Amino acid sequence: MELKGEMSMLNILHLQDIDMETLQKALQEKRDEAPQFFSQSPVVVDCSEVAEQCDELDFKRLKELILDLGFIPVGVRGISETAPTNLLGAIKDAGFALMRAGHAPSNSTTRGETGDQQGETNNTPDADNSAAAQAQANMSIQSLTIERPVRSGQQVYAANGDMTVLAPTSSGSELVADGSIHVYGALRGRVLAGARGNIDARIFCHSLQAELIAIAGRYQLLDESDTELKGKPAMIRLEGEKLIIEPLN
Amino acid sequence: MSKVIVVTSGKGGVGKTTTSAAFASGLAAKGHKTAVIDFDVGLRNLDLIMGVERRVVYDFVNVINGEATLKQALIKDKRVDNLYILPASQTRDKDALTTEGVESVVNELKADGFDYIVCDSPAGIEKGAFMALYFADEAIIVTNPEVSSVRDSDRILGILQSRSKTAEEGGSVKEHLLITRYSPDRVEGGDMLGMDDIVEILSVPLIGVIPESDSVLQASNSGNSVVLDKDSHAGQAYMDVVARFLGEDVPLRFIDAQPKKGFFKKLFG
């Protein structure tokens, strides 16, 4: 196994009020804007703006609330490591990880720790928004279009988005995308969609001759598949743990 | 405006050196001042194929190291005007090739008014092959009609379009596919990949098909370029390749299976 320190995309929930009712309503509204996108997405709660009232915050209930709305609570930040032991204990008991703060909003008291940025971008200055919480979607979707054949030994990766290949790909090549993969030509090498766990990613191709197909980590050798679509236009999607190969008409 | 053309394949033994020799001879025979450089340092063959092995005094590595001038190292072909050969060193290895050294030689050839500089690549995807393709404007990918050769060609095409100087500068090297040792009878019998299949797999425009021919072996062993053998199908096919490269529209030849000779034909024919 490997344990690495890596930065990943996280939604940061900036608490501006410790009232759970208000928070619940505001967060639900935000979620309903893009339920697909937020479903099962990790959330870190930033407490730096309510630092004074943190003792009164019910972390257990906060966690349940986040879970109920379909997010995955990961941790809490904006709490000083020198905070009272009972507060740190409450956070720990609720099952949150205590994270060091990123760059704190300018209007709040700056806390000691720096660095450790979660990759979030505060590009929508809705601090004046009366909503108690803002879930910041920080992924910038990027499309990758490839117009030349992908050759044996070449690896192409579309980070944070879909990949479109307008040429054939060779056996021994590897296409990897965080989103879906479209190949308007023969697909012959390995193809891995949803590389960071997006189970809704799909693979589309004009002629399915791949060596290995994978979506969100579930993989299959095409030779071990009993599909009759080899060499034909096909779409591959994930249903539960199973890769489904369907004709593309 | 001079052009650098690399003859490469990935796999060994498919006919790169034969092609380099024939192609360079063909260009020169058409009146273009042409140099052909052997990049296979340590496994020098081009001089043998071209029949100049006894005239090698200085080589490519000597020029790179400043031990000889380019003029001293270039061997002028005795049968074809305008043709010059820069042999590889037999006693060194590929590490003797440096980007700066190769660049200075290529630039000097360009400054000397050479129209075409043909780089004969060694097999593999290591330094020698990489150096041979780095400065290329165009590439001739030599492929035999069998799967491992096709896959290796595919691999070298990937390297060509990602690691050559042109690719690093955002451009793309012009690719030509040359199928050698093609035997229409064996393709028909299903023993060999057909040329349409190869073109489909590699998706590179076809510049020619060279039939399997005894004349290639005879020419190599005698040090005569096969294009000088006017009766040889392979020689004619190579001249067609040169013509197509220079922009002429020439139909493919020698790609259909010969009709089987009947019993009487065999007996009396």
Q: Which residues of B touch A173 (CB under 8 A)?
A: 158
- Which ipTM did the prediction report? 0.75
Q: Which residues of B touch A152 (CB under 8 A)?
A: 151, 154-155, 158
Q: What's the pLDDT band for A14 if we cut at 50, 70, 90?
A: confident
- Mutation site for A-interface testing, chosen from B152, B193, B203 by largest number of A Cβ within 10 Å: B203
In chain B, which residues have pLDDT < 70?
A: 260-269
Question: Could you tell me which residues come within 8 angstroms of residue B266 by beta carbon, excluding any fewer than 6 positions away?
Answer: none
Note the pLDDT of residue B267. Answer: 64
pLDDT 10s digits, A79-113: 776 777 888 888 888 888 887 654 433 333 333 33
A209 touches chain B (CB under 8 A): no
DSSP A26: H
Q: What's the pLDDT band for A20 if we cut at 50, 70, 90?
A: confident
Note the pLDDT of residue A108. Answer: 37
Residue in chain B lying closest to A153 (CA): B155
Question: How far is CA B232 from each of CA B142, B187, B218, B226, B235, rounded to the nearest angstrom?
Answer: 19, 21, 11, 8, 5
pLDDT 10s digits, A111-133: 333 333 333 333 333 333 433 33
Question: How far is CA A81 from each of CA A54, A96, A99, A118, A212, rounded to the nearest angstrom?
Answer: 13, 14, 9, 18, 47
For the whole prediction, is pTM greater than 0.90? no
Question: How far is CA B22 from each of CA A10, B6, B19, B216, B230, rounded to the nearest angstrom?
Answer: 61, 13, 5, 10, 12
B55 touches chain A (CB under 8 A): no
Task: Using CB atoms, pick whichever of A148, A151, A167 lies closest to residue B155.
Answer: A151
Task: Using CB atoms, pick whichever of B158, B172, B200 lies closest to residue A151.
Answer: B158
- Which carries the bigger pLDDT value, residue B238 or residue A74? B238
Q: What's the pLDDT band for A6 if we cut at 50, 70, 90?
A: low
Note the pLDDT of residue A85. Answer: 80
Task: Answer yes or no: do B158 and A167 touch at CB < 8 A.
Answer: no
Distance CA A166, CA A163 (A): 10
Distance CA A161, CA B60 (A): 48
Full strand arrangement of the beta sheet holding A155-158: A155-158, A174-177, A190-193, A212-215, A218-221
Q: In this structure, are residues A96 and A41 in contact, taking their beta carbons and an 8 Å threshold?
A: no
Sequential DSSP letters for B99-158: HHHHHHHHHHHHHTT-SEEEEEPPSSSSHHHHHHHHT-SEEEEEE-SSHHHHHHHHHHHH
pLDDT 10s digits, B88-131: 998 888 899 999 999 999 999 999 999 999 999 999 999 999 99
Q: Which residues of B touch A151 (CB under 8 A)?
A: 154-155, 157-158, 161
Note the pLDDT of residue A63. Answer: 86
Pairing of strands A97-99, A72-77: parallel
What average pLDDT does chain A have?
A: 79
CB–CB contacts below 8 A, A to B: 36
B161 touches chain A (CB under 8 A): yes
What mean pLDDT is predicted for residues A223-238? 94
Task: Using CB atoms, pick whichever of A154, A171, A186 lies closest to residue B158.
Answer: A154
Note the pLDDT of residue A98. Answer: 80
Q: In this structure, are residues A47 and A76 in contact, taking their beta carbons and an 8 Å threshold?
A: yes
Note the pLDDT of residue A56. Answer: 81
